[in-house]
Structure 1
Amino acid sequence: MADTLKCIKCERGMENISSGCHQPNEGLGFHTRGHYGSAYFDPMDGSYLEISVCDECVKAADEKGLVGHGDPDPRYSWFEL
């Protein structure tokens, strides 16, 4: 795993704060194994893509209404509000 991850939107560099794992500092990391309907990536062989998005780009997209929010997942019951 690279020591520096780049935001997929603005290309800002972020430190990868977890050895062997995709964990950008001051950002979010996502991976996908593809989706039915994608004309670009759905290999069905177990390979995957990883992307990073910096906090500033996520915040700007959220403020524009481009980010969906879901209800809490009950599997994470240790995270009590």
Structure 2
Amino acid sequence: MPKREGPFEIIDKKSPLVFKLRLPPQWKIHNTFHTSLLVPHTENFLNRFYYLVKWEGYPTSENTWEPPENLEKATDILRQYKRLHRLP
């Protein structure tokens, strides 16, 4: 599984299968993507964020979606992620 970034705001639906995303301005890449390359942002029924975690020393097939309370020992990384992606 490739490295994932995000979440990103969808700013235009070009077709049922192609979306234009608001990417960080410093990224020098095309901002239009086929849905096969996108992963839905996950929130639970309480509108709480979950984070896709790539565990150090494990293959990406072992990635898991984790609520913030499971990341208490990763507060610095979580704070950086939230700042980078402008999350609450």
TM-score (norm 1): 0.25
As a proportion of its length, which structure holds more helix? Answer: 2
TM-score (norm 2): 0.24
Greater RCO (Cα-Cα under 8 Å, separation 6 or more):
1
